[in-house]
């Protein structure tokens, strides 16, 4: 296990955080005027934009009788990574990400309210520094709230990894790019923290079953922490008064 070097002897991580510390999250709702809802979220150096269109009438082929069609697209700007990407979307990784996004967000949206309709959620990663998926889920939640789409709860995503310190396992919350690249386990959880349910769980690399619970609970704690931050952002945004979309100027 490549654990030991992820934590210093003082118990600090490679970027100076403590094991249970999130990266700084800064976010803003209503960045754009044209989409029905939009949000920008920074999680450390990972920067993500999300836009929501809809609900609108669904295309005939997609239309569902009993619920809304959630359509997600994940794309990464060509300059978002260290090495230049050739295609912003359409590759396997982004398609997988789009599916995972849909999975997590459908769990949060009250889909039964809008039969025969469609909600488009587009996320654009401007800068990727680890945990792009988590940032995307969090940004998309804010954009959905900005669009006024009824949600069951906040959908928050957080990742967790594990390191060893003095022979004791120590889970790390909100994994950055350096820690991801170090090759340890990365457990990504998208959950609805206020209901305690899990919308999506994904794990890469191997992890002993004995340690699964600690890593998992650390990730869930991260989700709860993120929910508090998102909730505050939403409240602040609403306290500002009318959003760009709601301003009535005749």
Partner 1 sequence: MVQQLPTSNKGGSSLLVQVQYDQVKEKCDLLSKDFDTGLESVEFCNKNISRFNLVGIEAILIRVICGLVLQNTVNYNIYKGQTNKCQNINVLTPDRRRLTFVMAGLLLSPTEKVFIVHGVQDDYRSDGRSNIDYRPMELETDVVSHASGSARLRLANTDVLVGVKTEIDIPSPDKPNEGKIEFFVDCSANATPEFEGRGGEQLALGISNLLQRAYHSSQALDLKQLCIFEGKQCWKLYVDILILECGGNLCDAVSLAVKAALFNTRIPFVKAALMDGGNVDLQLSDDPYDSKLLNVGSAPLLVTLCKIGDKCVVDPSAEEESCSVISVIVGITGIPNCYCDGGDSLEEKEGKFTTIDMSGPGSLAPKTLKNAVSQGIIAAKLLDKALAKALLRERQENVTLKKHSYGFLK
* Residue numbers at the binding site for partner 1 (CB under 8 A): 26, 28, 31-36, 38, 40, 42, 45, 47, 49-51, 53-57, 71, 73, 75, 77-82, 84, 88-90, 113-115, 117, 120, 122, 124, 126-129, 148, 245-250
**CB of residue 117 to partner 1, shortest distance in Å:** 6
**CB of residue 58 to partner 1, shortest distance in Å:** 10
Between 114 and 219, CB nearer to partner 1:
114
Between 51 and 207, CB nearer to partner 1:
51
Whether residue 137 contacts residue 153, with contact meaning beta carbons closer than 8 Å, is answered with no
Q: At 121, give phi and psi (nearest 5°).
A: -120, 120
Q: Peptide bond before 120: cis, by omega within 30 degrees of 0?
A: no
Whether residue 119 contacts residue 71, with contact meaning beta carbons closer than 8 Å, is answered with yes
- Residues found in the chain: 250
Whether residue 37 contacts residue 145, with contact meaning beta carbons closer than 8 Å, is answered with yes
Query: Which residues make Cβ contacts (< 8 Å) with residue 192, sequence separation at least 6?
Result: 107, 108, 152, 153, 154, 155, 156, 199
**CB of residue 196 to partner 1, shortest distance in Å:** 29
- How far apart, in whole angstroms, are the C-alpha atoms of residue 212 and residue 205? 12
**CB of residue 39 to partner 1, shortest distance in Å:** 9
Between 57 and 217, CB nearer to partner 1:
57
**CB of residue 20 to partner 1, shortest distance in Å:** 26
Between 102 and 218, CB nearer to partner 1:
102
Whether residue 189 contacts residue 220, with contact meaning beta carbons closer than 8 Å, is answered with yes
34 CB burial (10 A radius; 0-12, 13-18, 19+): exposed
Q: What is the dihedral of CA 137, 143, 145, 148, to 10 degrees?
A: -140
Residue with tokens 């009993």: 66
Between 14 and 77, CB nearer to partner 1:
77
Between 53 and 133, CB nearer to partner 1:
53
**CB of residue 158 to partner 1, shortest distance in Å:** 21
**CB of residue 174 to partner 1, shortest distance in Å:** 19
Whether residue 17 contacts residue 171, with contact meaning beta carbons closer than 8 Å, is answered with no
β-pair partners for 53: 120
223 CB burial (10 A radius; 0-12, 13-18, 19+): buried
Between 55 and 222, CB nearer to partner 1:
55
């Amino acid at each position: 296990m490549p654990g030991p070097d992820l934590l210093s002897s003082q118990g600090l991580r490679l970027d100076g955080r403590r094991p249970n510390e999130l990266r700084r999250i800064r976010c803003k709702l209503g960045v754009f005027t044209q989409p029905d809802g939009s949000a920008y979220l920074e999680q450390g150096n990972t920067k993500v934009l999300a836009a929501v269109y809809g609900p609108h009438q669904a295309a005939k082929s997609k239309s569902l009788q009993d619920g809304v069609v959630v359509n997600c697209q994940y794309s990464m700007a060509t300059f978002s990574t260290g090495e230049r990407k050739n295609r912003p979307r359409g590759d396997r990784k982004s398609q997988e990400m789009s599916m995972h996004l849909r999975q997590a967000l459908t769990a949060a949206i009250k889909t039964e309210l809008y039969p025969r309709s469609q909600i488009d959620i587009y996320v654009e990663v401007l800068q990727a520094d680890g945990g792009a998926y988590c940032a995307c889920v969090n940004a998309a939640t804010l954009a959905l709230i900005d669009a006024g789409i009824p949600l069951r709860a906040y959908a928050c995503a957080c990742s967790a990894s594990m390191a060893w310190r003095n022979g004791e396992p120590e889970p790390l919350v909100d994994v950055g790019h350096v820690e991801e690249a170090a090759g340890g386990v990365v457990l990504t959880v998208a959950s609805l923290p206020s209901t305690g349910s899990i919308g999506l769980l994904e794990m890469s690399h191997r992890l002993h079953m004995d340690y699964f619970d600690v890593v998992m609970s650390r990730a869930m704690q991260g989700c709860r922490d993120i929910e508090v931050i998102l909730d505050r952002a939403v409240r602040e945004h609403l306290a500002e008064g009318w959003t760009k979309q709601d301003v009535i100027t005749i």
